[in-house]
Amino acid sequence: RDKGVVGFGESVQVSADILDADGTVDVANLWYSVNGGTYQSDEMILTAGNTYVGNIPAQSDSSIVSYYVEAIDNDGNVSTNPSDTVKNAYFYYVLNRDLTIQDIQRSPFGGGWSGYNGYEVTVSGVVTADSSTITAAGGEVFIQNGSGPWSGIQLFGTAVLNLKLGDNVTVTGTVYEFHSFTRIEGLDDPASVVKNGTAAVPEPSDVSTSDVGDLGNGDLSA
């Protein structure tokens, strides 16, 4: 899509390279759903080479928009990207406010991937684990903006190595899914990490193994 963080009143353009190796592409559609409603389609237009473009109109504040691309070839064969259009459909939030860690982390359909994967984001939080408590190449630093589900995220890059427990920071980096783990990468430039003083460290949440032990992969409560 043409923008990572989608604001209130902004339309979104989605591009896809589509190629049929043994024939031709008959039609390409961009399917989108708003807040879990019925999927609607926009026929994608071939613009150059193998690139097709479709549009999702602007939506109201706090909407969740899921979408996928469908291609049909000259033999009637159908393919979609992603292949699982239920759990793993692409999605984004329409926001009339600043982005939060919860927006980045929450995967409402159970696929586990962030709606901002591959896009640059700016987000704030308090350091809850620093490189003195978790040691690894590149540093293991986590921030939270409160307690509860979806409230924490890992930071990765040399510019976070000197962060300490309780630092209140604003970071600008790229969301990346690493072995089913969502983190913010590219934090090597000192300018990508801004310290805003210190703050109280969020209280940890107790989670019992009996609460999660029988839940399956993709279960949102897990």
- Per-residue pLDDT tens for 208-217? 888 888 888 7
Query: What's the pLDDT score for residue 97?
Result: 95
Return the structure tokens found at 115. Answer: 């709606």
Alpha carbon distance 155, 176 (integer Å): 10
Return the structure tokens found at 139. Answer: 């540093």
186-203 pLDDT tens trace: 999 999 999 999 999 999
127-153 pLDDT tens trace: 999 877 776 655 579 999 999 899 999
Q: Which residues of 45-58 are buried (b: 16+ CB within 10 A; e: fewer)?
A: eeeeeeebbbebee
57-86 pLDDT tens trace: 999 999 999 999 999 999 999 999 999 999
**pTM: predicted TM-score of the whole model, two decimal places:** 0.91
Strand partners, 73: 25
Nearest CA to 185 out of 123, 112, 102 is that of 123
> Kindly report the CA angle at 20 between 18 and 25, in degrees rounded to 5?
70
Write out the H or E segment, with its range, that includes residue 102: helix 101-105
Query: What's the pLDDT score for residue 61?
Result: 92
Return the structure tokens found at 70. Answer: 């469908």
Query: What's the pLDDT score for residue 72?
Result: 98
Q: Decide if 30 contacts 40 (C-beta within 8 A).
A: no
Alpha carbon distance 116, 65 (integer Å): 12
